[in-house]
Amino acid sequence: GAAMAKSKFEYVRDFEADDTCLAHCWVVVRLDGRNFHRFAEKHNFAKPNDSRALHLMTKCAQTVMEELEDIVIAYGQSDEYSFVFKRKSNWFKRRASKFMTHVVSQFASSYVFYWRDYFEDQPLLYPPGFDGRVVVYPSNQTLKDYLSWRQADCHINNLYNTVFWALVQQSGLTPIQAQERLQGTLTADKNEILFSEFNINYNNEPLMYRKGTVLIWQKVDEVTTKEVRLPAEMEGRKMVVTRTRTKAVPLHCDVIGDAFWKEHPEILH
């Protein structure tokens, strides 16, 4: 019958590749917006940093952490986010494709779902896409170095973009001229241009732009007002209810160095 027929075909399952992530290692999924250079232009992102876009990215990452299992920390900047699954996670038997596709699809659908909450007067013009990859890190040190690498990337790009857009927006240089002006400059040179020509102290730029966003689980007191009504009453009375929930909370701090890891030993325990 039908069951016999199905069992006859089922050998095709053996063609599926085994993509189990090595046991006891940190599993990282990084996603990145597809062609967001263009997406940012079409949707009138503020340059160099559109805070609506960054907050939307973080909302999507919080949704991923809350909907999926076993994510202990996430880090985001620009159009990318990295999610770290706990070492002992056995979610979907540690299949890389499951980790990656669940993270990326949940993130992408959230991006569209929450768009209007962050871009009130900017319609979403076409469906955005994201790529994903999985990287497995065998030790706490390699995981910390991975996150440090992404944060260093954030710093370098943001410093460059801050000077670049100051030259374009405030000094009237063309993008080509600004690029030429910055060719071969070091960090100190860029800080100096910002300070002497634009009176900008880079260290006073918003932390979210300079450091990116770290999401970790923290207990937060949620205060809500609840309307309670006894059967005999017409008007309900307002009651203040406080409950403690564990939420994915955004921080804009250094992950480079020891301080963060000393302050939050539970992340890597």
Binding-site ranges for ligand ATP (CB under 6 A): 32-37, 40, 45, 47, 49-50, 53-54, 78-79
Closest C-alpha to 214, from 256, 157, 246, 245? 256
Least spacing, CB of residue 79 vs ligand ATP, in Å: 4
Residue with Cβ nearer ligand ATP (40 or 207):
40
For the CB of residue 261, give the shortest distance to ligand ATP in the complex, in Å: 27
Residue 218's nearest CA partner among 72, 54, 89 is 72
Residue type at 71 in one-letter notation: I
> Rounded distance, CA 153 to CA 147, Å?
10
Residue 252 site contact among ligand ATP, Mg ion, none (CB < 5 to 8 Å, cut-off depends on kind): none
With beta carbons less than 8 A apart as the criterion, state whether 30 and 108 touch. no
Q: Given the complex with ligand ATP, which of 32 and 254 has the nearer CB atom?
A: 32
Which range of residues in 45-53, 75-83, 98-106, 197-205 is near Mg ion by CB under 5 A? 75-83
- Smallest separation (angstroms) from ligand ATP to the CB of 11: 20
Shortest reach from residue 209's CB to ligand ATP, in Å: 9
Cis, peptide link before residue 175, omega less than 30° from 0? no
Give the whole-angstrom CA distance, residue 61 versus residue 75. Answer: 9
79 forms part of the interface with Mg ion (CB under 5 A)? yes
Binding partner at 45 among ligand ATP, Mg ion, none, C-beta below 5 to 8 Å by kind: ligand ATP
The C-alpha angle 112, 115, 117, rounded to 5 degrees, equals: 140
Q: Is 236 left (phi over 0), alpha (psi -120 to 50) or beta?
A: beta
- Smaller CB separation from ligand ATP, 154 or 251: 154
Determine the angle formed by the axes of helices 51-67 and 96-118, rounding to 10 degrees: 140
Task: Give the interface segment with Mg ion, choosing from 35-43, 87-95, 116-124, 222-230 (CB under 5 A).
Answer: 35-43
Q: Does 33 bind Mg ion (CB under 5 A)?
A: yes
Q: Residue 25 or 40: which CB sits closer to ligand ATP?
A: 40
Per DSSP, what are the bridge partners of residue 240? Answer: 225
Residue closer to ligand ATP, measured from CB, 50 or 254: 50
- The verdict on 80 binding Mg ion (CB under 5 A) reads yes
Q: How far apart are CA 184 and CA 191, in angstroms?
A: 14
Tokens standing for 76? Answer: 């985001």
How far apart, in whole angstroms, are the C-alpha atoms of residue 161 and residue 189? 14
| CB-nearer residue toward Mg ion: 33 or 250 | 33
Q: Residue 201, Cβ neighbours under 10 Å: how many?
A: 10
Here's the x/- map for Mg ion, 138-177, by CB under 5 A: it reads as ----------------------------------------
Q: How many C-beta atoms surround the C-beta of residue 147 within 10 A? A: 22
Least Å from the CB of residue 195 to ligand ATP: 23
Q: Can you give the binding site for Mg ion, defined by CB under 5 A? A: 32-33, 36, 78-80
